[in-house]
Each structure stands twice: as C-alpha cells, then as structure tokens.
Amino acid sequence: MATPADKRNIVMPTAALVVIAVVLTVGLVIFANVTRDRIAHNQQAWIKQHLDALVPPESYDNDPLTDTTEVTAPDLLGAAPVVAYRLRKDGLPVAVAIRSVAPDGYRGPLELLVAIAPGGQLIGVQVIRHNETPGLGDAFENRDAGWLDRFRGLSLTQPPQQRWTVRRDGGDFDAFTGATITPRAIVKAVRRTLEFYQGNEDRLYQDGKPR
C-alpha cells in the first residue's frame, strides 16, 4: 500500500512534466507566431522592393500592399488567382502591377510582376520567381540583364499585337543566345497580361474583383 510520501513522490514529477509540456507548447506557439509574422513582413518588404524598382515611390502616395485586388483569368494570367497591386496619387490611378504567371518556361512557371500605366502602356516588367537554367534561361538576371527593360513603354499597339513574340516566331523580340523558350514564355505572358488589363482597366481600380 502506497504511503502519502510515495504518492507525493509520484505526483510531483508528474506535475513537473505537465508544467514543462505546457511551457514548451506555449513557447512553440509563440515562436511559430513570431516566425510567421516575420516571414509575412519579409515577403511584404520583398514585393515592395520590386514594386519600387518598377514604379518610383514618389509617384504614388497610397500603400499598394494593402490596396490590392485578387484577379482570376486562367487563360491570360495563369491557373491560380493572382494579386494586382494598385498605385495611386491623390486618389488618381498611377499604375497597376499584376503578378501574372508564364506557365511554359523551360523549367517550369515563371512569376512576373507587370506594371501598367492607365491607358495600357507598360511601365516595366520583372521576373520575381523562376527555376530557369543558370547561365542560360536566367539570362535576364545576368548575361542579358537589360533584356526586360525593352518592355518599357510598349503596349498592345506598339508593337502590333500579332508581333508580340520572339523574332524566331516572326515577332519583334530578341531571344537570349542559346535560349528561346524562356523569352518566348515571358513575352507571351506580358502580352496576355496587357490583354487582361485592356479588358478590365476600370474594374482593376475598383473594389470589386475583375473576372
């Protein structure tokens, strides 16, 4: 038969283990929340850096990270819904930056950030995620770092819409030396983003979700 002392010897270690488990659980929850918040903050800072590289910060006065809309157009922007960031000055439209997807890169989809001014003229294009072959398909980052700059000022009428492809396919855009698939995919995705913008310009600046 267990004595009171024996019971205390059993209960005290058990209680200590319970306290330790609770403390560890609370600590893990706090750590997870802090980590999640830090990741979210870093992701916001990352996209803001890309936005500011396309559209000068002094040209808008709203917060494009909160002034967003989610758009769905599988035939033009990619299978999943994408985010469009709206930039305004004194309440007036300055640009929309759409995170469209080029699904047919050489090594998988490329995620783009396409900034478009009112009227449909391109402000600029950035590739923000990709898995293209280093030294070949990723030439827009190093070997031909100015390649994306040629999109600035273009629209669906300049060049004509049918010439929005690489020269090898009869279009107006140079490919990379030794790599055609990646630039072809980017050009097509930018053209399709412009097509989406053309059909949804007014609604992109409104609170509703363009379709």
- The full 3-state SS of the chain, as one line of letters, equals CCCHHHHHHHHHHHHHHHHHHHHHHHHHHHHHHHHHHHHHHHHHHHHHHHHHHHCCHHHCCCCCCCCEEEECCHHHHCCCCEEEEEEEECCEEEEEEECCEECCCCCCCEEEEEEEECCCEEEEEEEEECCCCCCCCCHHHCCCCCHHHHHCCCCCCCCCHHHCCEHHHCCCECCECCECHHHHHHHHHHHHHHHHHHHHHHHHCCCCCCC
Please state whether the predicted TM-score (pTM) of the whole model is above 0.85.
no
Per residue in 1-42, pLDDT (tens digit) is: 556 555 555 556 666 667 777 777 776 666 555 555 454 457
Any idea where the domains of the chain sit in the sequence?
1-54, 58-204
Q: Quick one: average pLDDT of 46-62?
A: 94
pLDDT digits (tens, 9 = 90+) for 90-142: 999 999 999 999 999 999 999 999 999 999 999 999 999 988 888 778 888 87
**Model confidence at 45: pLDDT above 80:** yes
Residue 109: cis peptide before it, omega within 30 degrees of 0: no
The pLDDT value given to residue 133? 84
Dist CA 203 CA 195 (whole Å): 14
Q: CA-CA distance, 28 to 81, in Å (whole number)?
A: 32
Q: How confident is the model at residue 154 (pLDDT cuts 50, 70, 90)?
A: very high
